[in-house]
Structure 1
């Protein structure tokens, strides 16, 4: 994972959680958990030509 991938995923997660009404400290806790649990590794890679929703 490149730093650009990390930044894109973290930004998308942050924006989605803010939109859903989460508080700032909870958002960072969840993002930290997402990456430290390696959950991002279980996300399927987009197929060539697919648009990213973020």
Structure 2
């Protein structure tokens, strides 16, 4: 089982929409709005590193 975090930048005001879309991805276990250099942090979990990479790439 592979687990990691993805830091995301997005347009101002799009955070809530993006988090709702991320919740539709089975590998995304949680997603939160942050303050600072990045706008969103998402926790991903996948069976293999290849699956993890494919999720991040899409």
Query: Normalising by the residue count of structure 2, what TM-score does the alignment of the two structures yield?
Result: 0.31
The structure with the greater share of residues assigned to strand is 2
More helix by share: 1
Which protein has greater RCO, CA pairs closer than 8 Å, 6+ apart?
2
TM-score, normalised by the number of residues in structure 1 = 0.33
In our comparison, the structure showing a higher alpha carbon Rg is 1
